[in-house]
Amino acid sequence: MWTITGDSTEYTVNDRIELVAWGPHGVTDGPSAYAFHGKVQYMLPGDVAALEYAPDGLRPFTGADLSVAGHALTWRLDGVEDGDGLTATLVDDVTGLRATLRWRFAPGTDVLERWATLHNGGPEPLTLTRLDSAGFTVPTPAGATLHYLWGQWAQEFTPATTILTRGRFQIGSELGVTGHLFSPTLTIENGDAAYGVGLAWTGSWHLTADADNAGLTRIRAGRSVTGEPVRLGPGETVTTPVAVGVYSADGVDGVARQWHAYERHLAGERLGRTRNVIYNSWEATTFDVTADGQLALADVAASLGVETFVVDDGWFVGRHDDTGGLGDWTPDPAKFPDGFGAFVDAVRAKGLEFGLWVEPEMVNPKSALYAAHPEWIYQAQGRPRSTIRNQYLLNLGREDVFAFVRDTLDGLLTTYPIGYVKWDFNRPRTEADRDTADLDGAHVRNLYRVLDHLRTAHPDVTIEGCAAGGARVDYATAARTDVLWPSDNTAPLDRLRIQHGFLSAHAPHLMSSWVTDAPGLFDVQKRSLAFRFVLASAGVLGIGADITRWSPSERAEAAEWIARYKAVREVITRGEVHRIGGPDQARCAVQYTHGSRVVVLAWNAGGLDGQDTVPARDIRLPLRGLEPTARYRSGTDTYSGSHLMAVGLPVRWTVSHDADLVELERQ
């Protein structure tokens, strides 16, 4: 048996490469929850065992992690190495396929990273029809309660729950991108604890949960290669994406905090950078970008205390609307008559960092790039191709396209003093030539190559990931970007829901959010400027409204909120998060705790309490993780930790007071 150890949990595997224990430190010391008694009728022991990586030759009833066309793979264990986590090598002697499995806890967290390296050591080419990263098994004696996030454009990160007593549940994407439809994380509650499983991959993927008949649920996490098998020639190797698993005794919210810890680990030293307050021009000007118009916005932005000014779509030649221009990344001289360099300098002269929107993997048929390279797009030989938002997707898996994208970005970043890039992706892959090996893998790996290149060649540039809102939010993107745009929906109550869901799987330092004047799509109730500022302060604060239209008093209030955000942003972007209630409950708040400092953001997502015409009591926000006997001060109020945790921080909503930002300091 081998036990590997995370921050407060451990994971133990036996010499059949089956799971023995997963839980808090010391959990291995006792009879395994995965051991079974009784006769194995009409199946094999492998069908009931908690296999770590199931080959389909064992035909496990709950499905295989690895399948090779024409072969029934069966493993022989060829060695285990203990050190930097665990490494086990399994071999199928007939094909010569070797699977090297890795387990490793991300330092300082309880997040277990697992992946497999598959090497064809035999003489024949192999076609992999399934190549998952890992299988995670959870004891679910009374069935599994599965929590996941679904969505669509403008409605990302919507939480949902399903009870799986027996059988199969699957979420994923077949679109060559993480997608709007589901987030690649799944939380499994078994009544006693919660477990999270996720996948760090920006292409097609699946998370498949199978509840067996003897009290286990097994979750397979991997790339989806449906219709696009991966071919492995003799001597070739492919590495799966990293799958992540976490156990938390603190339930679903505890799993969320572990995902946050993991993303802080992925950010590395870049976590220490101050998240600037940004202004983004998209909602104010859409494609109608002009130097004068942008400078007028930048003037007001600077006066409010904004630190980075981002010019969104519409700045390059041929981009008057969404029918043209993508691919031709040259500033439009008609829009910047004094030159783009002079424009960027003028923005920077206001004390603002300059940022720019790009969508480098795309091309409009109406562009010089498409005229020069029609062969660069994805297409299925001889079959119709579809545009989405009037654009095609470039095959970034090609080396020439990769070089074009990298050089285009290098060119922009070296020609102009750009400190911030918003990288967008507004259409998924649809038709594609199936003759080419591993299209999805080639595209995603080259995407990572460009992002990794940008981080090394232009280390001071902040990168915001965006994909028609939140279609590219996953742990691999989180490792290569500084902020992520969760949704194009910025309306107050819609956004509150989206952000609450986002925070269940992703950390606040990644959550880009703007204050805008947008009306709701799903919930049209109006909310105050304060509500919208407190909401956008829940992660990385930005403004996206047409601030030239804001009144002097709105601007003065905005400047105050921005100053308040700056005073607490370290707590918000680095702190431990506890979500209190939710947008559809009587109370809705997020608590951030960082050292002795606590910040609580609270919103009234519903109605009022009768406004003193009837007896009513304050809403109480029970805080978490405080020191019971310590005193916490907020302005002139002080409370004991016990009071704040057991009774809660009081808030009272009125027509004009619908949100609050409360700072508490442990005395």
Binding of ligand GLA by 494 (CB under 6 A): no
CB closer to ligand GLA out of 11 and 282: 282
DSSP type of residue 229? P
Cα–Cα distance measured from residue 207 to residue 170, given in angstroms and rounded to the nearest whole number: 6
CB closer to ligand GLA out of 332 and 424: 424
Burial class (CB in 10 A: 0-12, 13-18, 19+), 624: middle
Cα–Cα distance measured from residue 476 to residue 242, given in angstroms and rounded to the nearest whole number: 8
Binding of ligand GLA by 534 (CB under 6 A): no
Give kind and range of the element (H or E) at residue 237.
strand 237-239
Determine which residue in the list 203, 441, 469, 575 makes contact with ligand GLA, applying CB under 6 A: 469
CB closer to ligand GLA out of 132 and 424: 424
CB closer to ligand GLA out of 424 and 482: 424
Token duo for residue 194: 């919660």
Quote the least distance from Cβ 468 to ligand GLA, whole Å.
5
CB closer to ligand GLA out of 228 and 312: 312
Quote the least distance from Cβ 470 to ligand GLA, whole Å.
8
Quote the least distance from Cβ 471 to ligand GLA, whole Å.
9
Determine which residue in the list 488, 494, 609, 660 makes contact with ligand GLA, applying CB under 6 A: 488
3-state secondary structure of 506: coil
Quote the least distance from Cβ 542 to ligand GLA, whole Å.
11
CB closer to ligand GLA out of 190 and 426: 426
Q: Which residues pair with 98 in a beta bridge?
A: 91, 119
Quote the least distance from Cβ 639 to ligand GLA, whole Å.
41
Cα distances from 546 to residues 169, 185, 280, 469, in angstroms, run: 44, 36, 10, 20
- By CB under 6 A, the count of residues binding ligand GLA is 11
Using left for φ > 0, alpha for ψ between -120 and 50, and beta otherwise, residue 313 falls in beta
CB closer to ligand GLA out of 189 and 312: 312
Question: Which window, 178-186, 440-448, 463-471, 561-569, contacts ligand GLA (CB under 6 A)?
Answer: 463-471
Contacts of 579 (CB under 8 A, 6+ apart): 253, 256, 500, 503, 504, 589, 590, 591
Quote the least distance from Cβ 532 to ligand GLA, whole Å.
17
Site for ligand GLA in 395-434 (CB under 6 A): 424, 426
Question: Which window, 178-186, 195-203, 462-470, 581-589, contacts ligand GLA (CB under 6 A)?
Answer: 462-470
Token duo for residue 272: 């220490």
Structural Rg of the chain based on CA atoms: 26
CB closer to ligand GLA out of 530 and 540: 540
Quote the least distance from Cβ 426 to ligand GLA, whole Å.
5
CB closer to ligand GLA out of 195 and 485: 485
Instruction: Find the farthest-apart pair of alpha carbons in the chain and give their distance in angstroms, rounded.
Output: 83
Determine which residue in the list 52, 110, 228, 313 makes contact with ligand GLA, applying CB under 6 A: 313
Sign of CA dihedral 128, 134, 137, 138: negative
Binding of ligand GLA by 12 (CB under 6 A): no
Where helices occur in 313-355 by DSSP H, the ranges are 340-348
Angle at 380 between CA 374 and CA 383, to 5 degrees: 95
Taking alpha carbons only, the member of 164, 167, 215 closest to residue 187 is 164
Where helices occur in 115-248 by DSSP H, the ranges are none
Determine which residue in the list 21, 112, 278, 468 makes contact with ligand GLA, applying CB under 6 A: 468
Binding of ligand GLA by 357 (CB under 6 A): yes
Quote the least distance from Cβ 312 to ligand GLA, whole Å.
5
CB closer to ligand GLA out of 237 and 286: 286
Residue nearest to ligand GLA (CB): 313
Quote the least distance from Cβ 389 to ligand GLA, whole Å.
8
Do residues 64 and 55 make contact, with C-beta atoms less than 8 angstroms apart?
yes
Build a one-symbol-per-residue string for 226-265: x at contacts with ligand GLA by CB under 6 A, - elsewhere: ----------------------------------------
Cα–Cα distance measured from residue 55 to residue 302, given in angstroms and rounded to the nearest whole number: 59
Quote the least distance from Cβ 282 to ligand GLA, whole Å.
5
Contacts of 231 (CB under 8 A, 6+ apart): 125, 126, 127, 128, 437, 438
Give kind and range of the element (H or E) at residue 535.
helix 529-536
Question: Which window, 296-304, 338-346, 445-453, 466-474, contacts ligand GLA (CB under 6 A)?
Answer: 466-474
Cα–Cα distance measured from residue 350 to residue 306, given in angstroms and rounded to the nearest whole number: 10
Question: Which window, 380-388, 465-473, 519-527, 645-653, contacts ligand GLA (CB under 6 A)?
Answer: 465-473
DSSP string for 390-437: TBEEB-TTSHHHHHHHHHHHHHHHHHS---EEEE-------S--SSST
Binding of ligand GLA by 609 (CB under 6 A): no
Quote the least distance from Cβ 487 to ligand GLA, whole Å.
8
Q: How far is CA 585 from the centre of its chain?
A: 25
CB closer to ligand GLA out of 282 and 404: 282
Token duo for residue 389: 């938002």
Question: Which window, 40-48, 94-102, 179-187, 464-472, contacts ligand GLA (CB under 6 A)?
Answer: 464-472
Binding of ligand GLA by 542 (CB under 6 A): no
Binding of ligand GLA by 464 (CB under 6 A): no
DSSP string for 62-111: T--SEEETTB----EEEEEEESSSEEEEEEETTTTEEEEEEEEEPTTSSE
Quote the least distance from Cβ 653 to ligand GLA, whole Å.
31
Q: How far is CA 199 from the centre of its chain?
A: 10
Cα–Cα distance measured from residue 33 to residue 54, given in angstroms and rounded to the nearest whole number: 19
CB atoms within 10 A of CB 622: 17
Binding of ligand GLA by 466 (CB under 6 A): yes
Determine which residue in the list 110, 312, 464, 658 makes contact with ligand GLA, applying CB under 6 A: 312
Determine which residue in the list 103, 282, 343, 565 makes contact with ligand GLA, applying CB under 6 A: 282
Quote the least distance from Cβ 311 to ligand GLA, whole Å.
10
Q: Which residues pair with 66 in a beta bridge?
A: 55, 131
Cα–Cα distance measured from residue 187 to residue 255, given in angstroms and rounded to the nearest whole number: 8
Where helices occur in 155-196 by DSSP H, the ranges are none
Question: Which window, 36-44, 102-110, 250-258, 461-469, contacts ligand GLA (CB under 6 A)?
Answer: 461-469
Build a one-symbol-per-residue string for 318-337: x at contacts with ligand GLA by CB under 6 A, - elsewhere: --------------------
Under the rule (CB under 6 A), what is the footprint of ligand GLA?
282, 312-313, 357, 424, 426, 466, 468-469, 485, 488
